[in-house]
Every structure is written in C-alpha cells, then in structure tokens.
Amino acid sequence: MTSSFNGLAFIKLEALIILNPIISLISPKSINTPPSASIVSTTIPDGSKIDNPRFIKADEKALAKAQWKLSKQAKGTPPRKKAMKVVFRVYERIANNRDDFVQKVNRNLVNSYGTISFEDLNINSMVENHCLTKSIMDCAWSKLVQYISYKAESVGRRVALVDPNGTSQMCF
C-alpha cells in the first residue's frame, strides 16, 4: 500500500502474465528520436509528431491560485492544511498527466519500432539555464528514456543512446 501527497492511499497489484510472442507483428524498423530542443514537438522519421502537451502550462493558473490561497492562511491552522492539500492535488494531477503521457508515448514507440535511439543529453546541465528549466522539466525527457528502456528490454527491443555531437546538423 502506498500513499500520495494528499493522503490518498493506493494498493498496487502486480501479476506476471506470460504470452506467446508473435514475431510476425514486430516491426524491424528503427527510429532516432532526438528530444528536440525546440520543446514544441519531436518529429519521427515516418512523419508523425509527438507534441509536447505542456502540463505545467495547462495547470499554471490553478496552481497559482491554490498557492496564493495557501499563502494567505496563517501557519498551523486547519484552513492552511486544507489549502496545502489543494496545492498537493494540483501538483499530483500534473505529475499523473505527465506520467500517463510518457507511458502512452513509450508504449506506442516500443510497439512500432525495433530499435529506438535517443540523444544522450546531459539534462541536468541544460536545466541550469533558468529560462528553459520549467519547459525542459515539463517534457520529462529522462523519464521517457528511462521508461522506454525498461519497456523495450522487457519486449526484446533495442534502445541506444547516441552522442549528441553533430546530430542537429543538416546534411547536403
């Protein structure tokens, strides 16, 4: 049993299901998806795009309102605890939406491609740029690479991290 920030408790159930692998449905295609610095969308070689849903931007007003109400409450009072729970719920909603999006994208990519390669970016040093921090963290690049690596390994796909040097050049 686990609990979340706002005191809700969850029970996790796990089951091991063994299925016969269907080799004929596995695509031998490979994909190279750079976590695009434009922070707008990433284009996959087959022409489709993975748009950045910008979860923080979507809930920014609700978060600001909840934090403002929290700041107006006196410390240690029951209304402050109630306002704190509201702030926690907003943060939890953002985290859950981001997690759901990453899971859907990762399942789609792992099912569609046999080899997936990512630029091996140093995201921690990219976050030091205070102008881009919120956008970079909202994209959840590290979480996407981590989830895809785990999911691909369990299904027998290959994930490669590529040196980012020279990957953004136009070849003529």
Per-domain residue ranges of the chain: 2-162
pLDDT in tens, 152-169: 988 888 888 888 777 666
Is this model's pTM higher than 0.75 or not?
Answer: no
| Geometric angle at alpha carbon 146, from 94 and 42, rounded to 5° | 70
Report the C-alpha gap between 61 and 39 in whole angstroms.
21
State phi, psi for 44 to the nearest 5 degrees.
-90, 150
pLDDT of residue 89: 95
Mean pLDDT for the chain? Answer: 78
